[in-house]
Structure 1
Amino acid sequence: MRAGLAVLALADSRFPGGGHVHSGGVEEAAARGLITGIGDLREFLYGRLHGAGALQAAFAAAAAHAASRGVRSGHWRELDVELDARTPSPAQREASRAQGRGMIRAGKAAWPSPVLTELVAATPRPHHPIVLGALAAIAGAGPLEAALAAGYLAVSGPSSAGVRLLGLDPFAANAVVTELADDLDRIAAEAAAVAGLDPAELPAPGAPALDLLAEAHDRHHREEVRLFAS
């Protein structure tokens, strides 16, 4: 039960990790007219789950596996470097590290552990999925639960952003997220199955459209006021 509560807390939008200021590309997509209604949001979230969500799930699972086995600091650096290599957009990398920093601060208060100290010593600004996986393991959860939380966060935040930006029906937006349950289960299971691999051998699903949206949003964010940081 303790581990289950921890995973629920990590996936909760009220967890003070800073995720509420990131739209996962929805703000830029909406500004370009690519998302105008629930149907567009459904397609966007499906693609995001199978691209960025699958990548985040894989590295969250790997981090949970590593944390539960007390790996050396070099392994944390390898995980961070490999996720960096799989995130070609500088704006995406910065957003992930910003959320990782916020989650580290919240995690230290909720689940203080020398694992977090070692992680930050190895890589001062770790990526969000790596922090998420480490925290899940510290709280007693396994790679599968960490992957589920990461995959869920990859679509729940953008779904909420769609409601805030476009005034979409929140009931319909939530229903779209629940429609992805089977896909999320499969992605999490696949992530858990490879959690013990060498970091360089972890999956590398790509999402070029999200990378382009992130770079465009970053440029526009410097030129005009935007609601979300990414």
Structure 2
Amino acid sequence: MDFLGGPGAASVLSLADSRFPGGGHVHSGGLEEAAARGFVRDVDDLASFLSGRLRTAGELAAVFAAAAAHGALRRRGRAFWAELDAELDARTPSPAQRAASRAQGAGTARAGRVAWPSPVLDDLLAAAPRPHHPVVVGTLVGLAGGGPAHAALVTAYLAVSGPAGAAVRLLGLDPFAVNAVLARLAPATERVAAEAARHAGTAPADLPAPGSPALDLFAESHIRIHRQEVRLFAS
């Protein structure tokens, strides 16, 4: 996958930057709950968690980001965006997961509207005022000049890099060792993104629906506990 080639590559890279002001820093992708329950205690546990997350929630996000980039490049209208967002909603059974995705999506859309103003983004937000995060990311990648493969890779990477950063903050893990985990995951991340990009032109209702029941349960547990005691992350 020639991620660095083509127009708009630098703009696309900014979406994968942890400093992009989309609100991702307040979400752990289920890592906080997994750590609280003792499932993730060290770097080896983190590697297993991230690998599983990449192949479930990460793959789902990459598929929808690729479809959104495809739609943005073709200047699709509000009906398409409403359907795409609704189909991702249907594939996200946990209300807490849906809320977290929409919170990140809203934050990313605010930042994206300043950086890449476009009637396409306006149509997306008219159809879904708080769109799911992968849909927004894919749309912005398309507006920035990237394609479905770029959108899938950015989103797959975010699916593991966000929880990895949270692990350093929550567990005090060696950041060099955590970065090494991400480096070892790079080939798998590229494979997930490449497969997701192949579905970019598929009708929203027919897009794949990989499930992550453990992450759904973690999300529901986290939100219940978060109402009773302070947690570092919103999800």
Scaled by the length of structure 2, the TM-score of the pair is 0.97
Partner of 2:73: 68
Unaligned runs of 5+ in 1: none
- Whether the 8 Å contact between 2:121 and 2:139 is mirrored in structure 1 is yes
The alignment status of 1:26 with 2:31, answered yes or no, reads yes
CA distance in 1, matches of 2:8, 2:53: 27
Residue 184 of structure 1: how far off its partner (Å):
1.0
CA deviations over 1:190-213 (Å, ceiling 9, x no partner): 111110000011010000000000
Select which of 198, 216, 225 maps to 2:221.
216
CA distance in 2, matches of 1:108, 1:99: 14
Residue 2 of structure 1: how far off its partner (Å):
4.8
CA RMSD of aligned residues (A): 0.7
Residue 97 of structure 1: how far off its partner (Å):
0.2
Partner of 2:187: 182
| One-letter code aligned to 1:20 | H
Which secondary structure does the structure 1 equivalent of 2:227 belong to?
helix
Partner of 2:97: 92
Unaligned runs of 5+ in 2: 1-5
> Which contiguous aligned blocks of 4+ residues in structure 1 show a shift greater than 6 angstroms?
none
CA distance in 2, matches of 1:44, 1:213: 12
Partner of 1:144: 149
Partner of 2:209: 204
| One-letter code aligned to 1:106 | A
Aligned residues: 230
Q: Any residues of structure 2 matched to 1:1-80 within 5 Å, and which? A: 2-80=7-85
| One-letter code aligned to 1:62 | A
CA deviations over 1:14-47 (Å, ceiling 9, x no partner): 0000000000001011111111000000000000
| One-letter code aligned to 2:131 | P
Q: Any residues of structure 2 matched to 1:111-122 within 5 Å, and which? A: 111-122=116-127
The alignment status of 1:163 with 2:168, answered yes or no, reads yes
Select which of 205, 222, 230 maps to 1:225.
230
Scaled by the length of structure 1, the TM-score of the pair is 0.99
CA deviations over 1:50-82 (Å, ceiling 9, x no partner): 000000000000000001001121110110110
Moved more, 104-113 or 141-150: 104-113
Partner of 1:153: 158
| One-letter code aligned to 1:229 | A
